[in-house]
Amino acid sequence: EVIALSPKTLMATNRFVCEICGKGFQRDQNLQLHRRGHNLPWKLRQRTSKEPRKRVYVCPEASCVHHDPSRALGDLTGIKKHFCR
């Protein structure tokens, strides 16, 4: 599964925001753990499918070697760091 994220999404630092206090988090899991402090319902998502899907992330920059799906990076953190650099 090839995933192409926009530059805005890759550069976003606080994509998940608490609706109570407005504090932002980079990961949904961090927000869910924070919600526990407000005594709000929270749920950590578990993987549901039995077979793992291989995800790769392509760079949005057309001139980059990692823009080609065959040279895509294997994790979200890696593509974010690559694009920021």
Q: Does the pLDDT at position 59 exceed 80? A: yes
Averaged pLDDT for residues 37-47: 77
Confidence check: pLDDT of 70 > 70: yes
Per-residue pLDDT at 55: 86
Please tell me which residue, 49 or 56, carries the higher pLDDT value.
56
DSSP labels for the chain?
-EEE--HHHHH-S--EE-TTT--EESSHHHHHHHHHHTT----------SSPPP-EEE-S-TTSGGGSGGG-BSSHHHHHHHHH-
pLDDT of residue 54: 83
What per-residue confidence (pLDDT) applies to 34? 92
Report the chain's mean pLDDT, rounded to a whole number: 85
Q: What per-residue string of b and e applies to 22-35 under the rule 16 or more CB within 10 Å gives b?
A: eeebeeeeebbebb
